Every structure is written in C-alpha cells, then in structure tokens.
Structure 1
C-alpha cells in the first residue's frame, strides 16, 4: 500500500481549499444519489475540516443533495463529555449537519463519556454500529493529517497502528489532547472507495512530503491509508511547500 498513485491538488490558501473540497463533496454525493445510492461519508475534525463544513452549508442549497439520504460516519472521536466542544461531531453539527438537516439517525457518532465506561467499550460499540449499519466500503473518507503525520487518532509509534482484526479501537495517552479517543483502524479506513486528505498550513508540510514520499506508516501514519478507487491530497500552498 503506497501513495504512489495519489493525486495532489494544490490550492492557493485554506479558503480556496475549503471551497474546492466542499464543492467536490457535494457533487460526488449528488452523483451517487442520482445513481440510486445512499452515500456513506466519513467526516474528520480539525480547523480545515471546520472551514470545509461551513462551505458545505453555504453551497448546499444549490447542490441538489438530499440530506435525508446521506449516512455520516466519523474516523475518530475525542472521548469526552457529550456536550464538549472538543467532540468532532459537535463541530460538524454546529458547522453544517444541523444547518442542512441531516436526520439524527443518519449521523453515526462515536461514544462519549456518557455512553461508555471507557474507550474500549466505546470502540466496541462503534464496531457494532458499523456491523449493523455500515457499508462494505465507504464512498468517501476524509482525513486530516497532523504535523507528526497522524491521521484519525492513529499516532506514530502507537500499538493501534498494527491492529489488523478490529474496525475501531480505543486510544489512551494521545500526544495531542484530549488523551482518550476512539479511532477507526487501518483495515476499516482502507475499506473506502475514495480517500481525501485535507491539509492546510506550513506546519504540515514535512508530514505531507514524508507521506507522499512513502515513509513507513509507523513513522508517518498518513502513509498507510489509500482509496480503492482514488486517493486525493487536497493541499494549500503552505502545506504543499515541501513537495
């Protein structure tokens, strides 16, 4: 599994990147729905994701997307209180989910501290949710990437990188707060038709270059996820500056 066949799109800045990704996402969802499919999309968190989510809200009225027929999943989540602003689902709800009217039963959120005793119980619950309602292959998986090359909550050097028999795992001692998280694993992330990396800022440039250069996933976890049909890196000029 390598990034050799990945496509790289470089946009002028974070704003242009956000508009491009939002427009492409809405177009893909509309096309899938026109073909009679119910799209399964995996969301990510972070600053650039929030910008993209706001652009989705802005562009949605003209998109033709039926939000009652889209399934939303999450690549990872912070294991905190349900009302914490740290939760990826809270960010996504505030920026676009509620605004465009995605029905609650279409939003498959990971457990909070109110739903599970610990991250392991939360991970098992999400595995059950995927087993019951998830697709064989996600249509679109969106991932951010950290300055250390982490994706979802899979961090360099962590044991979760080598998990091969689970769809979701608990993470403790995260180097990035909050310390407790739930994350999809490589086997489940790689069951995606399209994988989109969304990266902005000069602080990510070295990680982007390392991932696209084929660095081992134990050092740069972003190296380890590719789409079955396509892998696209959506970058701004700053994050692409190391290429």
Structure 2
C-alpha cells in the first residue's frame, strides 16, 4: 500500500518522519527482539539523522537496532562522499548501538569481495525470514533513480547486493530482490527539482527502465512518501 505524507517545509517533513520512526521502532520492539533499519545517504537524510540523534538518543532502545545501508559509493570510509561515514558521524555515534550491529558496505576490498561480504551479512539476518528490513529509507534522484539503480544500468538482478557503475564512481547497492521484502519502505524527498520525477514515479505509466524507483514494490509491505510541498506539487492524488 502506498501512503503519502506531505508537509509545507523540509524541516517539518524530517521532524515528522523522525517522530514516525521513533514510534515505529518502539512499537515493533514490543513484539520482537530486534529492529533492522537500512539507511540512505544524502543531505536530507542527514537532517533526519541529526534529529534522531538529538531527540531520541535516550528514548529508543538503540542497543536492539541493527543498521544497514542501501548503497555506497566505492570510496574510502574517510571520504566525505561515503554514506556510512555521514550517517555514523551525524547519528549512530550519538546512540548506544553496538558496533557489531552496524553493517556498512566494505569499500576497502575489491568490488566482488565487497558484494559477497554484504550478501553473506544479509543472508545471516534474512535468509530464513519472510521479510527483510523492518524499515528502509530511500531517496529519489533527479533522474528517477533510487539506491544506486540508475536509468543507464541494466537493473535486473538475482542477488541481494550488486556493484554498478554510477555517474561519478563505482557503487555498491542493494537490489529490489531484498528491498521488496521490507516491511516498511520510506521515500524521503524534498525540493522543487524532484517534483516532476515524484509525479512520474507515482502517477506515471510503468517504465522502470527510465524510472528505476518504480522497481520498489514491496510484496507484503507499505511504501511511504514523505514529501515537502515543493516535491509534491505535481502529484495527482
């Protein structure tokens, strides 16, 4: 099921989403022992991470949350473009999550080894489960991509992790095979420059070659779009 959440400003979007995530984690941990959360890169998620770290560092049982990443640029961890570094600096280092529950993609080895390593991590958690992540956070590019699934790539995969050629550099990415087993998928999108693609992905005809974000269709989960008014302006409800 698709659910739309639209707010006037980016600040209101990320603040409301932080509240929603907090409530969801708390409710889920009343029913199961752990929560699996897959993070995204980018400037808008960074604002969200700051709020989660500052407001909820003590109220959420972070020691029971396990973190993953949806994609990663194939750059060293100390590189400012590294998605894991961004999230760890802005968010995770301010919580009580154990290091053993932070599963970043390893860009310090060759790409095939990195893919195999992450595939094995995911299998450890999800191979025997109907669902994968309790929550995965995604963005939307100006070209309609999400994760590192780009219109210029052949986005057909049989594994859960893959290496792809991005516009700047080689990237590691999760594939729809694992993402579409998630319980809750959140697209966090802001800005007027994203409005056309938001409408095309949600309202337009199916064209996943041109709009890879359309590949994200959970089999037994919900898709939430958290948008500011500028990003939602072309949406037809």
Fold-level similarity (TM above 0.5): yes
1:169 aligns with 2:159: no
Shift of 1:25: 0.7
Task: Give 1:197's aligned residue.
Answer: 187
Task: Give 2:207's aligned residue.
Answer: 216
Secondary structure of the 2:172 match is: strand
Q: Distance in 2 between matches of 1:14 and 1:151?
A: 19
Task: Give 2:70's aligned residue.
Answer: 75
Task: Give 2:90's aligned residue.
Answer: 95
1:42 aligns with 2:38: yes
Q: State the Cα RMSD in Å.
A: 1.4
From 144, 153, 164, give the equivalent of 1:158.
Answer: 153
Shift of 1:85: 1.5
Task: Give 1:182's aligned residue.
Answer: 172
Q: Distance in 2 between matches of 1:59 and 1:217?
A: 38
Q: Distance in 2 between matches of 1:43 and 1:37?
A: 20
Secondary structure of the 1:35 match is: coil
Counting only pairs closer than 5 Å after superposition, residues 84-163 of structure 1 correspond to structure 2 as 84-112=79-107, 114=108, 116-117=109-110, 119-134=111-126, 136=129, 137-159=132-154, 161-163=155-157
Which has the higher mean CA deviation after the structures are superposed, 210-219 or 147-156?
A: 210-219
Tell me if structure 2 keeps the 8 A contact 1:140–1:195: yes
- Aligned residue pairs total 230
When the two structures are superposed, what TM-score results if normalisation uses the length of structure 1? Answer: 0.90
Q: Which stretches in structure 1 are left out of the alignment for 5+ residues?
A: none
Once the two structures are superposed, residues 27-80 of structure 1 have per-residue CA deviations (whole angstroms, 9 ceiling, x without a partner) of 111111122330111110111110110110122046x31111101111101111
Shift of 1:134: 4.1
Once the two structures are superposed, residues 6-37 of structure 1 have per-residue CA deviations (whole angstroms, 9 ceiling, x without a partner) of 11110111111110111111111111112233
When the two structures are superposed, what TM-score results if normalisation uses the length of structure 2? Answer: 0.93
Deviant stretches of 4+, over 4 Å = none
Q: Distance in 1 between matches of 2:80 and 2:125?
A: 26
Which has the higher mean CA deviation after the structures are superposed, 85-94 or 211-220?
A: 211-220
From 52, 56, 67, give the equivalent of 1:60.
Answer: 56
Q: Which stretches in structure 2 are left out of the alignment for 5+ residues?
A: none
Tell me if structure 1 keeps the 8 A contact 2:72–2:105: yes
